[in-house]
Amino acid sequence: MPIQTQLSWSERIAETIVEQCDNDGYHAFPSERWAYVQGMTLMAMAQTGEQYGKGEYIDFMKRHMDLYIQKDGSIATYSLEEYNLDQINQGKNLFSLMDDAEDQRYEEAAHLLAAQLAGQPRTSEGGFWHKKIYPFQMWLDGLYMSAPFLAQYAKKFNRPELWDEVAHQILLVERKTRDPRTGLLYHGWDESKEQVWADSTTGCSAHFWSRAMGWYAMAIVDSIEHFPIHHPKRGTIIGIFERMCNALVRVQEQESGLWFQVLDQGFRKGNYLEASGSSMFVYALAKGVRLRYLEPQFKQAAEKGWQGLTSRLVEETADGVKLNSICHGAGLSLDRDGSYSYYVGEQVVSDSFMGTAPLLLAALEMERLS
């Protein structure tokens, strides 16, 4: 694909995503099921279409969504009984679809996902378990998957009690996972303190994983966008967001403007500047400044991060925009113990949608900001 430098960064990234699909545009994703990375990528594509008046990107999102949304509003490959927060994320694309559709299937699909959250297993204080198979565990990742969906659902269907629910989830996980010394948030928390990765006193995992905090930062800016200004917890959430962003700026690597895979460990052996978390932080900082959740001085940190991404981790090739230094995946379980060696030992890849989708979202926000 010839490089089209007259296009914005977001358009060039979106064009690359289209090129990576089969010619019919149906098989872009390695996952053949309803899934969170696919959902984030489709959302970023549709937002690019809206921002630049390119209907083909919105159609791209719709085409993929229609592979799953059935005539009765059921969702192919999705199981409510998994009670898996990851499975909510792709549902964020339903809201724009239902606004343009004559049938009710997108609305019914949204109601189905909301029903999962109504019955989601919970900790003793009402925090969503990340998945049914991870009992009594709250992960930062799960807030991005579920909270913005539920906040937009509350607005769309006039369900004000669900804003209270979103606020409760955001504030509870922050209270359980925040380290008072650094201001950073641990990846996960186990109320039962039974997991091999959980501290026997606090229940927290051992390290500050970049992408986990990226998920949480994006969760806040994407959720609060749908809150009414008079909600009693809105200001508190914006306050903890700014406090957290101050902590993130303190661990931003000064020369590159990027963030490490393990945020507070600097150039310790094995640690590296990671693309997906850095992209998420740029997105959250830029959007926070644009919507005035953050003070204007945070714009400099966003700009520095964006400059670092485009100059150090992005390549423009004949095949389009290539992103390097992406952590392929990380979690917490019996064989994923949350240790430093675990996080830096996970596979590092290029051109994964896990990194490219946040990069596209970051590009869109930087372009809106400027």
Residues 6+ apart with CB under 8 A from 292: none
Is the separation of the CB atoms in 231 and 163 below 8 Å? yes
Rounded Cα distance, 131 and 112, in Å: 17
Q: Helix axis angle, 234-250 relative to 210-224, nearest 10°? A: 150
Q: Token digits for 186?
A: 């641990």
Q: Give CA separation, 246 vs 12, 153, 252, 287, 302, in Å.
A: 31, 30, 10, 15, 12
The upper half-sphere exposure of residue 192, i.e. CA atoms within 13 Å in the direction of its Cβ, equals 10
Is 99 known to be catalytic? Answer: no
Give the 3-state secondary structure percentages of the chain, helix then strand then coil, rounded to 5.
55, 10, 40
Alpha carbon 204 to its chain's center:
21
Q: Given the structure tokens 């964020």, which residue do they identify?
A: 92
Q: For the chain, how long is the longest CA-to-CA vector?
A: 56
Q: Among positive and negative, which fits the CA dihedral 329, 331, 335, 338?
A: positive
Is the separation of the CB atoms in 191 and 179 below 8 Å? no
Rounded Cα distance, 62 and 59, in Å: 5
- Choosing from 24, 103, 141, 264, the catalytic residue is 141
Residues 6+ apart with CB under 8 A from 235: none
Provide Rg for the chain, Cα atoms: 19
- 273: phi then psi, degrees, rounded to nearest 5: -80, 120
Residues annotated as catalytic are: 141
